[in-house]
Structure 1
Amino acid sequence: MLRTLKNYPTTINLLLSGALILTLARAITLPYLVIYLASRFHLDVADIGLVIGSSLILGSVLSLYGGFLVDRIAIYRLILGCCAVFSLGFIGTFAARELWLFYLCLVLINLAYAVLDIAVKAGFARQLPVAERSEAFSIKYTLSNIGYAVGPFLGAGLATLDISLPFLLSSGLGAGFFCLYLALGDRHLNSRDATHPPMAFLALGKQLLRDYRLVCFTLGGLLSAVVFGQFSAYLSQYLMVTTSPEATYRIISNLVATNALLVITLQYSIGRRISQRHLGRWLAAGLSLFMLGVGGFALATSLPLWMLSMALFTLGEIIVFPAEYMFIDSIAPEPLRGLYYAAQNLSSLGGALGPILCGMLLATQPPHAIFYMLALFIIAGGLFYCLGAANPGQAGARAAG
């Protein structure tokens, strides 16, 4: 991987650096939002799930328009603008003493992060040939998980001094990348193909809905993302109900680290082997590993069992996540790449629904009921993936027309 990074142009390495730095900034605070909201704003488990989940939903839905902007304006300006919003959002969460203001800042952070992710993917598509994009995405995903591995420990250390300090560090990291990209970023980097006349946002949205494969994979991704999108949030909720806050801290920190470290060590080598030719088989294997992991969570009674279950769960993530990207990249028309990546990002709505649905179940049903629900979402997501992968039509080409 290091050899590949050395051969990349500065533009690609800057985009990859942004993925690392901004994910680190987000990971410093994200795993502890449940505990922060409970201690600072005195919310119960259902309300916490609603706050975290709905802020992710709003950020994801609004990012669809961000994908439209990626196809319309220079990526350089868009990245700088999103970095500024990202950094200011964390300052707002640090300063907020009212729940509505804290919530607004969460929405802005999630929106900025989602649009930045779309811009990075569009930058890959613009700068790299098709054969090299899967490898670049694998590296991006690995670097992002380095951020998720390191972030929780930095956040935990700062939280022992003051529970609000992680938000300041996250803001500083966002501001640091803003300065770096302002100085070194490619001012001419643009994902838009000038040979295609621009269309209205709503007209493009109608075209996306006519792409059968895109719709199936978006729905499959949305349903499966309920399971893997925000696992730290819903597992925190579950552990807060079934154990103590101290045990929740300890288990979640180890699970997030296990997840990230396995992705760091295995994702690049496995992700490079995932091919379009056998995409259905890879997805079936990944979803089966998700099912085994969720079953393990339901049975776990000790930290080693939690970590073993997370290892199985993570292997599923390593397969499913890059396979989604490869499929969308293969069907996305050149002038609509930003919008297609944004449509793929709508699968994060599933991650947002996870804490909401699990919070509701934990408030009304026995705690283990959440794992039965998660298993059903895995099965439903797999059915939509099969429908999308099996359809041979050239829907992406029709959407371009």
Structure 2
Amino acid sequence: MLAALKRYPLQVNLLLCGTFLLTLGRAITLPYLVIYLSTQFDLPVSRIGLIMGGALFGGSLLSLYGGFLIDRMPGFRLILGFGTCFVAAFAGMLLTTQLWLFFLFLLGFNFAYSVTDVVVKTIFGRLLPAGEQGRAFSIRYTLINLAYAIGPFIGAALAQWHAHVPFVVSAVLGGLFLLAFLRYGDRDMRPAEGVAPPSFIAVIGVLAKDHRLMYFTLGGVLTAVVFGQFSAYLSQYLVATGTAEYAYQVIQTLLGVNAVTVIALQYLLGKRIGNEHLQRWLIVGLGLFVLGIVGFGLSHSLWHWGLAMVVFTLGEIIVIPAEYMFIDRIAPPHLRGVYYGTQNLANLGGAFGPILVGCFLALFAPHWVFVMLGAFIIGGGVFYVLGSALSERQARGA
């Protein structure tokens, strides 16, 4: 991985560093927002879920408009602008005593993080040759998982000093990236040349006509139901079938196994994923997801849960970079930002996972949860295959 980083342009390495710092800031604070909202605003768990879920949902939707901006404005200005929003949102959440203002700052934070993520992926597509993109996306995803692996522990230690300290540290990390980008960022990051539609509504019309993108976005939404918030819905299942103590023990084990597996294998596997056999890689990754789900359903000990998590994580390692590469392959250069913004809508699927699992646990025997999750993976795979097949057919026709 270090050898690859040495070959990349300064801007790519700077954005990888920024991805790590911003994600670390997010991982330090977000796991403790439930506690913060409960203690500072005296909210019940149901209202906390609505606030956090609504902010995540809104931020993902708004990222589509962020992709539209990326195709029209210099990347340097956008990164500075949304990086400033990232820092300001943490400061606002820390200082406000009004719940509606807290929600707006949380929404702004999710929007800023989502758009910055889209900017990074778009610039990778512009600066790196096709053969290097899978490797770069894998490095990026490894850094994200590394941040999520260590961030909550840092946040727990900071929160023992004072409930406000995690917000301060998260804002400082965002500020460090802003200063580094202000000093070393390329001020000539201009949108790709091409004739882009004149308005956001016109862009939506272009996106709606690209059936490849629609198929892949639907596939992403369906599969994100399964891997987007796996710790949340598995917690629901474990509490429903056992004790809270056992559920906590299993979830801690699964999160650790997931983080270690991604950090150890993401780059090694990701650098081998290429455009030549993208559909084959996706099918393998989705097959591993299904095997992992089956393993969860059959698990009766920590060892079984851990082994199933390894298989499940291997699917995650393959599918996520392959999704990015497919979008980069079909996106016109002058619309790459809005195509990535559309693909970001797949994150919405993660919000529905715990809701659907809760409904199934209320209506059916617990093991039916895994049948439902497996069906979502298979449904997502159908849309992925349809999108890949249509893309190959159009490529041959061209």
- Shorter-chain TM-score above 0.5: yes
Question: In the alignment, what sits opposite 1:259?
Answer: 258
Is residue 273 from structure 1 mapped to residue 272 from structure 2 by the alignment?
Answer: yes
1:132 aligns with 132
Structure 1 contact 294–374 (Cα < 8 Å) conserved: yes
1:379 maps to 378
Trace 1:339-358 onto structure 2 (pairs within 5 A).
339-358=338-357
Q: Deviations over 1:191-234 (max 9, x none)?
A: 331x5355211111111111111110110011101111222333
Is this contact kept in 1: 2:223–2:380, CA < 8 A?
yes
Query: Per the alignment, do residues 61 and 223 of structure 1 end up closer, same or farther by CA in structure 2, a change over 3 Å counting?
Result: same
Counterpart residue number, 2:322? 323
CA distance in structure 1 between the aligned counterparts of 2:68 and 2:338, rounded to whole angstroms: 5
Q: 1:29 — aligned with what?
A: 29
Shift of 1:286: 1.2
Q: Which amino acid aligns with 2:29?
A: T
- What whole-Å deviation, never above 9, does each CA across 1:83-111 have from its counterpart, x for those lacking one? 11112222333345554333323221211
What secondary structure sits across from 2:124 in the alignment?
Answer: helix
The answer (yes or no) to whether the contact 2:196–2:335 under 8 Å persists in 1 is no
Q: Which moved more, 1:6-15 or 1:274-283?
A: 274-283
Compute the displacement of 1:243 (Å): 6.4
Residue type of the alignment partner of 2:184: L
Counterpart of 1:24, as a letter, is: L
- Matched residue type, 1:121: K
2:201 corresponds to: 202
Q: In 2, distance between residues paired with 1:140 and 1:380?
A: 27
Counting aligned pairs with the same residue, the percent is 54
Corresponding residue of 2:180 = 180
Matching residue's letter, 2:174 = G
Pair 1:80–1:107, CA change in 2 (3 A): same
Shift of 1:125: 1.9
TM-superposed deviation, 1:182? 1.4
Find the residue that maps to 1:347 and give its secondary structure. helix
CA separation of 1:311 and 1:156: change in aligned 2, threshold 3 A: farther
- Find the counterpart in structure 1 of residue 77 from structure 2: 77
Distance 1:14 1:380, change over 3 A: same
Partner residue, 1:43: 44
Q: Deviations over 1:153-179 (max 9, x none)?
A: 212222344455333322221122112
Question: Cα RMSD between the aligned structures?
Answer: 2.8
Question: Per-residue deviation at 1:129?
Answer: 2.0
Question: Residues 276 and 291 of structure 1: is their aligned pair in 2 closer, same or farther, counting only changes over 3 Å?
Answer: same
The answer as to whether partners of 1:49 and 1:355 remain within 8 angstroms in 2 is: no
Q: Which deviates more from structure 2 when the two are superposed, residues 51-60 or residues 9-18?
A: 51-60
Greater displacement, 124-133 / 55-64:
124-133
- Classify 1:155/1:91 alpha carbon distance in 2 versus 1 (closer, same or farther; 3 Å): same
Q: Decide whether the 8 Å contact of 1:234 with 1:355 is kept in 2.
A: yes
CA apart distance, 1:24: 1.2
Give the deviation of 1:257 after TM superposition.
Answer: 3.0
C-alpha displacement at 1:247, in angstroms?
5.8
Amino acid at match of 1:354: G
Question: What is the letter of the counterpart of residue 17 of structure 2?
Answer: S
CA distance in 2, matches of 1:36, 1:244: 25
1:122 and 1:337 in contact (8 A); partners too: yes
Residue 23 of structure 1, CA deviation: 1.2
Unmatched tracts of structure 1, length 5 or more: none
Relative to 1, partners in 2 of residues 1:111 and 1:185: Cα closer, same or farther, differing over 3 Å? same
Distance 2:396 2:44 in 1: 45
What amino acid is the match of 2:181? Y
Give the paired residue count: 396
Aligned CA distance change for structure 1 residues 169 and 223 (closer, same or farther; 3 Å): same
Whether the aligned pair in 1 keeps the contact of 2:217 and 2:345 (CA below 8 Å) is yes
Letter of the 1:107 counterpart: L
Measure how far apart 1:372 and its partner are.
Answer: 3.5
What TM-score, normalized by structure 1, do the two folds share?
0.89
Give 1:270 deviation, angstroms.
Answer: 0.9
Higher deviation after alignment, 296-305 or 169-178 = 296-305
Deviation of residue 67 (structure 1)?
A: 0.2
Cα pair distance change 1:238/1:86, threshold 3 Å = farther
For residues 84 and 247 of structure 2, the distance between their equivalents in structure 1, rounded to whole angstroms, comes to: 33
Deviation (angstroms), 1:275: 2.6
Contact 2:196 2:334 in 1 (8 A): no
Sort the Cα spacing of 1:256 and 1:82 in 2 relative to 1 into closer, same or farther, 3 A: farther
2:312 — aligned with what? 313
1:139 partner amino acid: I
Higher deviation after alignment, 279-288 or 232-241: 232-241
Helix, strand or coil at the partner of 1:190 = coil
Contact 1:158 1:165 in 2 (8 A): yes
Contact 1:216/1:387 (<8 A) preserved: yes
Counterpart-to-counterpart distance in 2, 1:168 and 1:97: 16
Matches of 1:300 and 1:27, distance apart in 2: 29
Within a 5 Å distance, the mapping from 1:236-251 to structure 2 comes to 236-238=235-237, 251=250
> Secondary structure of 2:76's match?
helix
Displacement of 1:394 after TM fit?
Answer: 2.9
Which region of structure 1 is more displaced relative to structure 2, 312-321 or 268-277? 268-277
TM-superposed CA distance for 1:350, in Å, is 0.8
C-alpha distance in structure 2 between counterparts of 1:66 and 1:397, whole Å: 32
Could you say which residue in structure 2 is the equivalent of 1:336? 335
Please give the alpha-carbon distance, in whole angstroms, between the structure 2 residues aligned to 1:363 and 1:47.
20
Aligned partner of 1:52 in structure 2 is: 52
1:163–1:354 Cα change, 3 Å: farther
State the one-letter code of the partner of 2:19: A
Distance 1:283 1:263 in 2: 17
CA contact (8 A) 1:226 1:354 kept: yes
Q: Could you say which residue in structure 2 is the equivalent of 1:107? A: 107
Q: What is the TM-score with the length of structure 2 in the denominator?
A: 0.89
